[in-house]
Amino acid sequence: MSSAPEWVESQIAFVNEEWRERSDLPRIYNRESRHANTTRHDVVIHNARLNEDEYDLDSCGYALINHKTEVTNFRDKEVIADQYFPEMKKVILELTGAHAAFSFPFYQVRSKNPANFFDAYSLYMHCDFSPDTWSQFAQHIVKESGTSEEFPEDLWDFALYNFWRPIGNTVEKDPLVLIDARTVERTDIINYRLIEEGDKAQAAVPLFNKKQRYCYFPQMNPDEVLVFKQLDSRIEKSLVCPHTSFIDPNAAPDAAERQSIDIRFMCVFPKEIQSRDF
């Protein structure tokens, strides 16, 4: 049982409502553009440890699992590729029952003040990818893996998951908050760009909606992994689980800075019913 309170009050930055009906897309690629395009909203964030039985990947879009890794150096690319990816591939296959899983060839170690803006932990609610381009992106991953003939789009569904693990120490401040996917309305998700100019690097963000429910798992330790949904073509499953970090008002003034690692897997499932119309 968690020693953290049942809920906390904090603020979460969402992309400005003005972008809902605009034909162009907001751009968030540095601190200044984030400040210009987002607004903070007062929210209540629920302690998901108190009701863990209510949460799973297919409904709310996230699940907390226990997993002790053999990896100790998360900044060594060869170690991540040769040890961590295979470890977590086994986990995602067991967790989802997927027919196959493909790891993304990159990963991110996040901290408070990295050299690159996108290696910092997020300070605005977002989705990592756009539902509008998921079908094409999934087919690109399949093609790159050399399995296009084995997994044609008309016979298989594709879901994308994130594995989020604290490294070094228990999360004492700036934990991850997620929106329960059951409370995310598809019409609230809009696209945005992660570059200053051009038409590439598209992802998505949810607009603020009072119906949204926010949850977190306080005091996560390095032997815990938060698995959450990025996208899913299966129409009877949750589509996407927006997420970001937030300021925990209960964090001690001298709380340690948190570090974390994200890796992603695309899972393949036999198609049973008509795919979601993106």
Distance of alpha carbon 136 from alpha carbon 152, whole angstroms? 12
Q: Specify the DSSP class assigned to residue 80.
A: I
Query: How many CB atoms lie under 10 A from the CB of residue 17?
Result: 10
Per-residue pLDDT of the chain (278 residues; tens, 9 = 90+): 457 899 999 999 999 999 998 999 999 999 999 999 999 999 999 999 998 778 889 999 999 999 999 999 998 999 999 999 999 999 999 999 999 999 987 888 887 766 666 667 789 999 999 999 999 999 999 998 888 889 999 999 999 999 999 999 999 999 999 999 999 999 999 999 998 888 888 999 999 999 999 999 999 999 999 999 999 999 889 999 999 999 999 999 999 999 999 999 999 999 986 556 66
User: Exposed/middle/buried for 80, CB within 10 Å: 0-12, 13-18, 19+?
Assistant: buried
Domains of the chain: 13-270 (2.60.120)
